[in-house]
Structure 1
Amino acid sequence: MHKAVHTIVFLTSLFGGSQGHASQPPELTVAPPSWWVGMQSSTLQLMVAGKDIAGSEVTVNSPDVSIVKVASQDSPNYLFIDVDVKHATARQYTFTLRRPGQADTQFTYDIHRRRDGSRARTGFGQRDTIYLVTADRFVNGDPSNDAHAALVDKPQPDKPGGRHGGDIQGLIDHLDYLQEMGFTQLWPMPLLENAMDAYSYHGYAITDHYQIDPRYGTNALYRELSKQGRERGIGLIMDVVLNHIGSHHPWMADMPSADWINNQGEFTATTHRREALHDMHGVAADVSAFSDGWFVPTMPDLNQQNPYLATYLTQQAIWWIEYADLSGLRVDTYSYSDKAFLSHWTHRLMQEYPELNIVGEEWTVNPVITSYWQAGSNPDDGYQSSLPSVMDFPLQATLVDALKNQESWGTGLVELYSLLASDALYGDPYNLVIFGDNHDMSRIFTQLDEDFALWKMAMTYLLTSRGIPQVFYGTEILMANPHSDDHGVIRSNFPGSWPDDKVNGFTGENLTAQQQEARALIQGLLTLRRQHPVIATGQYTHYAPQEGVYVYFKTAKEGKQGHGDGAMVVLNKNAQQVTLPLPRFAAQLRGINTLQRWPDSSEVATATGEITIAPQSATVWLLN
């Protein structure tokens, strides 16, 4: 008696018929949806979901792929298949699942050829400037996808927390603007499916790890964004969430194992006490209370100690890097995930892509805690991290304080000087991502009480300091959030691409004179970074502030004097003009004949003379 065979074919038209996100019939889903030959690890774990498939015998139709292990956990509806793809070729393979007394089930699985040089891809770095966008609030390039029949959260453009309609097509349509401004990396907040009832626009409550939310576009369109960005010299950074999912994720209706979600799948709030991870006097209970707790009831906290979930999250990140040709990852709420998992996850990704960059979010103003996560920092407990970069929250907070606080022996610009003196804690302080604001805090113009002089000082500092600068969309036109710290207000629409907009931030139409000056400053500084790379990548050397004046240099890292390239930057917080004698800086000016003020090339000083600094200003002097 012959058994009936139910065949499920995975469509892969998104990659010219050979590669992409597989269609997902309701009977069976497979993750990752495809893979590639020539990866550093020859082991691939397929997570197959389907009704009552646990305990199936699995075969594959080619000896090029060997089945190493088949396992199930607590749910009868999941199967984990470990396969060795060391000898696989770029083709489609057929897997058969057999269960006693039931019809066989088959699925096809595509393994593709990798792009040439994929492993050697260069991630974002010091030469780059990152543009962070809330895609829903940037540009509505395709109004037809503003709502989706299967998704509850419909457009509410008049509500700060509602969906406004921005999408991937809008990003593609304005890549030329980013290029003209001089940005070289694009970091959109998460674009994966968020099938939540409300507040789905921010993207951090993921319900499908392998599918772009249809209100933003498609997987193919996301890859097109990456492709067109690279054609303009703009890399694409994906915002990755390892710590939690959205409460409407299919796992919440059917968890693969009882321990898939922390705290038995029930909401228990995190303490947010990240200090517990570093406390030599602390207890394990405080560590668990931090790491295993949830942010909010709508964001279940994942248990990365489960090895199958850990593998799923690792392969998911690799899949998107390979599929969309990414230049890096930003990892949300980095330290909230299991420490051992993070060590393994970063090691595995850097093993696959040695020149990739990954930046983790650790929101603390304590550099001891921030530096703990960066590779090469060598913390006292011997923790091994392969994370290349960390968001420099200590610098962000200190920069604002340094500009706003009154100048004294211990406050004002000296706060910035003192913080930078702690850079020895980091494995590589030049690879930190620095910023004035982001999507989770008041805009930098608001933080500085809309003081335009202080804003210019802040942005000049960020674009000439050490590290990799990140600019939040709209900063270049002084977007602000006065009288409100609502995230939906902070993430307001970028003016110029919405039906009733009278101001256009892209063309400059109806911008105020101050906004035009702000945009010109950002564009000019990004041009300066490109024309004088040492300003982006050079050695940072600073002098202790004196009487409200802080001076630092960017010069060639090898430290050779007389190289004829570099810059001196002067921050003057005084309300009056300052005359600055240059002999104090003789060590940095050795071999330099003249200093030329940027962008006013007509203002030139000799290295042994003096310069005049305008009140409340940041000035850049090119060394010749």
Structure 2
Amino acid sequence: MSRESSKHKSNVTFGLLLLIAGITALGGVRHMNAQETAIRVEPPNWWAGMRNPRLQLMLYGKEIANYTPEIKEEGVALDSWHPGASANYLFLDLSLDPGLEPGEVEINLARRGFPDQEVSYEIRTRQRAGEDLVGFDASDVIYLITPDRFANGIPENDSVSGMREQGTDRSDDYARHGGDLEGIRQHLEYIAGMGFTAIWPTPLLTNDMPRTSYHGYAITDFYQVDPRFGTLQAYIELSKEARRKGLKLIMDQVVNHCGLSHWWMEDLPFSDWINYQENHEKGQPITVTNHRRTVNQDPYAAEADRILMEKGWFVPSMPDLNQDNPFLATYLIQNSIWWVETLQLGGIRQDTYPYPDKDFLARWAREIMEEYPNFNIVGEEWSTNPLLVAYWQDGAPKRDSYRSYLRTTMDFPLQKALVDGLTAQETWGTGLIGIYEALANDFHYASPRNLLFFGDNHDMDRLYTQLGESVALTQMALAFILTTPRIPQVYYGTELLMENSAKPGDHGLIRSDFPGGWEGDLRNGFTGAGLTSQEKEMQLFLRKILKFRQRSPAIHKGETLHFVPEDGVYILARSLKNETVVLVLNKNEGPVTVPLSRYAELGLSGKPMNEILSGKTVIWSGSLTLKEPGAYIYTTE
């Protein structure tokens, strides 16, 4: 047994905790299930047959650090235990035998002069082996959803008694609007019918914050679904039904920070559980990060800048978690694995990837990928510098020999180049040339096909707004996103030309309600009722590409060949065996004739090519006449 010598300094009372937990007067041996006990146990359960036999339990209860644990269960070894600096925490290190049978493990807690306590901890049967959980890849197209703004399936859970933020107000862009898990579940048919193969909802865990908590990134309980979104069972059912419809479920997770109202903030386990903890406990001003993410790679970075970047709080309402604390590091890794196993996930999106301790991130990703070797994780590195993005992808050579174990990063550099290139005038070095040259940076990436590519997301202006509300440019952007060697992601409502042009940069407006997600909506994107002809045409345009993409191995894993743009036309091809897909982006306002002799190395001369958007067939010979600006996709299929 080992002990943490530092002492917790706060004088927290247990009044509220006792009320919530329902702790009764001690008397005799107490025998309780871990989910029902006055003693909080996290993770709340585990599974037999995991590749990693080690498990660390965090027990939380009044003066529990003064108890001595004992486990006599066959197949479970109690290797050590560690009292927290707060007397209300006790950490148990267990080893589980490979042949351990599922069932209840009895944990006895003894303290001289007090009755023993017993907790029953459940070891469950795994639904399937870890290698059978397959993560998202370049054959998928991900539909990103802000759940509070997508669809309200159960209006009764819009306001939950006892939570800090009450009610909904759809007229307020920063209030809760009532979208929930059931709303997503009810419209899985629409999502799958559009041709998407994966869904990524922003975080659905409890955000019990006083205001503006609809987005989900200020988590106040890492093991609880926010009751305004629904229940754990509803989350599980969403995952099951999504799989039945051919949709992988990606979970948005946050290991960098938590919400200021997290339950442990009034009684932290150790003196270094969060960064700048002493300032927080003394009520002093909080040190905020400098957001200088380059310190992770910069060989000349000052140590002071590195420390401030990693340890500074993201914002004052989100305490920065200190992954240097080994108990917290293990807690976060096990939490991620618990959700993968519980929901049978098809991937994780990790928020603010460069902000935590990068050695911890490597361990976090490695342990997940060891448990689920066919899984996938995407890390958010919001940088338009491809050198920085490439650094985080596993397999890229690095000066500091850092190994990330991260398969996918987000391609912000190509996103910016795409928007800039489509909106710029066509000159020698701008316009389509900018897109072409940005894609040429793929030589620097370990695996370009594993980058996540998008036109917009929940933190950016809507794609239609970025492109000046040009339908043609929006269609060109989507066609490029969906044919390049990438994993594409589309933000909900893009198919309906949703915009935030009145208030660029306004996050509340960027996350507007999907029309038809609320009873009484006059417009309905799910059924088409009340939509304009432009909105319907965009929806059909995207559906056609997505459906084609689903059956195109050339786009999923084919070779890429592109030609230097000329005269406002950019041609890119994807080829695999007998299938060739050719994307033509045309920025010319009037009709243009494109001589095809320049593209002879595509090997398509004289072949019939089907244009998937118009349904017309052309013979790839002589020249190609493009009557309007926009995207054209030809295939030998």
Task: State if a TM-score over 0.5 links the two structures.
Answer: yes
- Structure 2: state its 5+ residue gaps: 1-25, 281-285
| Cross-structure match for 2:518 | 498
Q: CA deviation at 1:499?
A: 3.3
Once residues 30 and 601 of structure 1 are traced to their aligned partners in structure 2, the CA distance between those partners, rounded to angstroms, is: 59
Alignment of 1:60-79 (within 5 A): 60-79=71-90
In structure 2, what residue type is equivalent to 1:304?
A: Q
Q: CA deviation at 1:436?
A: 0.3
Moved more, 264-273 or 513-522: 264-273
| Cross-structure match for 1:513 | 533
Once residues 59 and 4 of structure 1 are traced to their aligned partners in structure 2, the CA distance between those partners, rounded to angstroms, is: 19
1:623 maps to 2:620:
no
Moved more, 68-77 or 299-308: 68-77
Q: CA deviation at 1:7?
A: 2.1
Query: Which of 116, 126, 147 is the equivalent residue of 1:114?
Result: 126
| Cross-structure match for 2:169 | 156
Alignment of 1:342-361 (within 5 A): 342-361=361-380
Once residues 407 and 286 of structure 1 are traced to their aligned partners in structure 2, the CA distance between those partners, rounded to angstroms, is: 40
Alignment of 1:451-600 (within 5 A): 451-484=470-503, 485-556=505-576, 563-589=577-603, 593-600=607-614
Q: CA deviation at 1:170?
A: 0.6
In structure 1, what residue type is equivalent to 2:430?
A: T
Q: Contact (CA 8 Å) 1:5, 1:106: kept in 2 or not?
A: no
In structure 2, what residue type is equivalent to 1:568?
A: V
SS class of match (1:54): helix
Once residues 28 and 409 of structure 2 are traced to their aligned partners in structure 1, the CA distance between those partners, rounded to angstroms, is: 51
| Cross-structure match for 1:192 | 205
Once residues 185 and 161 of structure 2 are traced to their aligned partners in structure 1, the CA distance between those partners, rounded to angstroms, is: 25
Once residues 212 and 552 of structure 2 are traced to their aligned partners in structure 1, the CA distance between those partners, rounded to angstroms, is: 43
Q: CA deviation at 1:591?
A: 7.7
Identity of aligned residues (%): 45
Q: Contact (CA 8 Å) 2:545, 2:613: kept in 1 or not?
A: no
Once residues 533 and 232 of structure 2 are traced to their aligned partners in structure 1, the CA distance between those partners, rounded to angstroms, is: 40
1:179 maps to 2:179:
no
Q: Contact (CA 8 Å) 2:198, 2:249: kept in 1 or not?
A: yes
Q: CA deviation at 1:584?
A: 1.4
Query: Which of 43, 48, 51 is the equivalent residue of 1:37?
Result: 48
| Cross-structure match for 1:291 | 310
Once residues 8 and 553 of structure 1 are traced to their aligned partners in structure 2, the CA distance between those partners, rounded to angstroms, is: 66
SS class of match (1:80): strand
| Cross-structure match for 1:318 | 337
SS class of match (1:374): coil
Once residues 164 and 627 of structure 2 are traced to their aligned partners in structure 1, the CA distance between those partners, rounded to angstroms, is: 55
State TM-score, norm by structure 1.
Answer: 0.94
Once residues 133 and 24 of structure 1 are traced to their aligned partners in structure 2, the CA distance between those partners, rounded to angstroms, is: 33
Once residues 390 and 138 of structure 1 are traced to their aligned partners in structure 2, the CA distance between those partners, rounded to angstroms, is: 25
Q: Contact (CA 8 Å) 1:292, 1:301: kept in 2 or not?
A: yes
In structure 1, what residue type is equivalent to 2:612?
A: W
Aligned length: 603
| Cross-structure match for 2:393 | 374
Q: Contact (CA 8 Å) 2:249, 2:346: kept in 1 or not?
A: yes
| Cross-structure match for 2:299 | 280
Q: 1:553 to 1:592 in 2, by over 3 A?
A: farther
SS class of match (2:361): helix
| Cross-structure match for 1:18 | none
Once residues 45 and 82 of structure 2 are traced to their aligned partners in structure 1, the CA distance between those partners, rounded to angstroms, is: 20
| Cross-structure match for 1:436 | 455
Q: Contact (CA 8 Å) 1:93, 1:110: kept in 2 or not?
A: yes
In structure 1, what residue type is equivalent to 2:398?
A: P
SS class of match (2:93): strand
Q: CA deviation at 1:277?
A: 1.3
1:270 maps to 2:284:
no
Alignment of 1:117-266 (within 5 A): 117-154=129-166, 155-264=168-277, 266=280
Q: Contact (CA 8 Å) 2:203, 2:252: kept in 1 or not?
A: yes
Q: Contact (CA 8 Å) 2:130, 2:373: kept in 1 or not?
A: no
Q: CA deviation at 1:536?
A: 3.2
Superposed CA RMSD: 1.5
| Cross-structure match for 1:560 | none
- Structure 1: state its 5+ residue gaps: 11-21, 557-562
SS class of match (1:421): helix
- CA deviations 1:578-612 (Å, max 9, x no partner) are 21111212222268723332233433123x42111
Once residues 61 and 289 of structure 2 are traced to their aligned partners in structure 1, the CA distance between those partners, rounded to angstroms, is: 33
Q: CA deviation at 1:469?
A: 0.7
SS class of match (1:619): strand
Once residues 307 and 486 of structure 2 are traced to their aligned partners in structure 1, the CA distance between those partners, rounded to angstroms, is: 33
SS class of match (1:334): coil
